[in-house]
Amino acid sequence: MLPTPYVLLDLETTGAHPERDRIIEVALTRVTDSASPAERWETLINPEVPIPPVIERLVGISSAMVAEAPTFAEIAETLRAFLADAVLVAHNVRFDYGFLKQAFARCGIAFSVPLFCTVKFAKALEPEHRRHGLDALIERHGFSCPARHRARGDVAVLEQYLAFAQAHFPPERLLIAREAAMKHPARPPGLAEGVIEAIPETAGVYLFFGDNDLPLYIGKSKGLRSRVTAHFSAATRNATDAEIARQIRRIEWLETAGDLHAQLVEAELVQSMKPRYNKRLRHNQVAVAIHVAGLNAATRAPLTVTYLPIQGTDPRAWPAGTFGAFSNRKQAEQTLRQLAKNHGLCPVRLGWEPASRRACSAHQLRHCHGWCAGKESATEHDARLLAALQQLAPHPWPHDGPVLLPEANETGSRTVWFLVDQWCLLARFEREPTPDEIAAACAKPYRFDLDVFRILKAHGLAKLSVQ
């Protein structure tokens, strides 16, 4: 049913992140062929970091229990010998494989094996069921598991499920399920073998290239390899991904400290390199803001509404009465007209209709509260207008001055520092900057960038604790 040799394996870990967390237990069963007895091996592993209380409660392994256990480096060669030339079989095998790959890499050992996912196997065999986790399999088929969430107990469940499948499904059904369990993402024909597998599962930016040095596409992700793989998965491929797959010849990537760093690098590269298939960020920015002059003036004269170009300008120089940040003038106008309708504002006061002895068209439709008909003062009208405009971005800068925003990767081995003021990215540092470096960066011209603003705002900069 499975290609031999194969190794059924389960890991217990300090958490869910292969880079940050560590293995604390491994159990395996190696099947070399049908004529040889299975080999079983298991051990606790000292992760050399404290085991979080939530993990202790879940798996029943405490820091005291692993204090005298070997480290991964001490068992690495033994484990590698068990896995040599074998198919790795596990429930959600990518999880275990990711931890093993990272753990071996920390020992200076390159690790790569074929994978067989028993979750995919169960889904293919029993598509009528919604759940295929180990608990679901135990409940559905009455398997025994004296130590759930311990590595040996979970491997025992896998052994029972494979035996159940062998006994209850015909060979042709098992073959289809095996193919599903071992299915790897499609590799574009123009990419060399192993290119995708070499991409780390870290935050970063990836660049797809065709036959020249102009990128086809630039993207970012918290997990680079998974995101790149998704582009070429037959299950998720769209027309654009299919065209990229046809043209791609190489992939480059930049690891970043985290998601914020990745988004900022992506925006910078897309704007400078203008990849063919990046629709959202590649446009030449013509960002504009709404400017309203004459607010609260005790006069029957209309307000003066203009649309200011703000891309690349210094926000500190924007005149009072400037609101919003929009991709173009049309978007700004549509937004202001919708605000007027929602808040009962007067088209005459806003300068959209000429003044006359009659009320404006919006008042006749009950969309205007009646400034044009003398039913409210300019102060009342403009207070409502101001409240509506203040809901628009950019929000007032939420800090007293420039701020340093650090972002560290999951292992804590790299921290990038962003110097930000007035929603402008002033500088990026690979180490904590000195006061002189901060002062020098702040002395340079401020340039507003709509993409950077949107990234910082979405990242919750106003709510972050910054230095």
pLDDT in tens, 179-225: 889 876 667 888 876 677 678 888 999 999 999 989 999 999 988 88
Statement: residue 412 has pLDDT above 70: yes
Q: Give me the residues paired with residue 89 across strands.
A: 8, 116
pTM of the model: 0.58
Q: Of residues 240 and 295, which shows the higher confidence score?
A: 240
* Residue 414 pLDDT greater than 80, yes or no: yes
DSSP annotation string for 394-434: SPPP-SSS-EEEEEE-TTSS-EEEEEEETTEEEEEESSPPP
Domains of the chain: 6-181 (3.30.420.10), 204-273 (3.40.1440.10), 288-389 (no CATH), 403-463 (no CATH)
DSSP conformation class of 461: G
Q: Crossing angle for the helix pair 171-181 and 118-125, nearest 10 degrees?
A: 140
pLDDT given at position 354: 86
Task: Tell whether the model's pLDDT for residue 73 goes beyond 60.
Answer: yes
**C-alpha distances in Å from residue 73, one per residue of 76, 104, 366:** 5, 8, 76
- pLDDT score of 85 more than 80: yes
Rounded Cα distance between 161 and 138, Å, is 9
What H or E segment, with its residue span, contains residue 387? helix 378-389
Q: Tell me how far apart the alpha carbons of residues 199 and 320 are, in angstroms, rounded to a whole number.
A: 49
User: In what helix (H) or strand (E) does residue 254 lie, and over which residues does it extend?
Assistant: strand 250-255
Residue range 308-313: average pLDDT?
Answer: 91
Residue 16, token pair as written in the block:
């869910």
Is pLDDT larger for residue 398 or for residue 64?
64
Which is higher by pLDDT, 411 or 243? 243
Per-residue pLDDT at 465: 38
DSSP helix/strand/coil, 39: strand
% pLDDT > 90, the chain? 47
CA distance 288 to 358: 34
pLDDT in tens, 325-374: 888 899 999 999 999 999 999 998 888 888 877 888 888 888 898 888 88
> Rounded distance, CA 322 to CA 289, Å?
6
| pLDDT for res 463 | 45
Q: Contact 323/392 with Cβ under 8 angstroms?
A: yes
Task: Kindly report, residue by residue over 286-300, the tens digit of the pLDDT.
Answer: 789 999 887 766 666
pLDDT of residue 82: 95
pLDDT of residue 185: 61
pLDDT in tens, 427-467: 999 999 999 999 999 999 999 999 898 888 887 765 443 44
- In angstroms, the CA 247 to CA 235 distance is 19
What does the pLDDT read at residue 29?
A: 96
pLDDT score at 238: 72
Q: Please tell me the distance from the alpha carbon of residue 292 to that of residue 306, in angstroms, as a whole number.
A: 7
Cα–chain-centroid distance for residue 333? 33
Give me the pLDDT at residue 461, please: 65
Per-residue tokens: 126: 């029993």
In this prediction, residue 80 carries a pLDDT of 95
User: Whole-number mean pLDDT of the chain?
Assistant: 87
pLDDT tier for residue 284 given thresholds of 50, 70 and 90: low
CA distances from 140 to 150, 152, 222, 308 (A): 20, 20, 35, 65
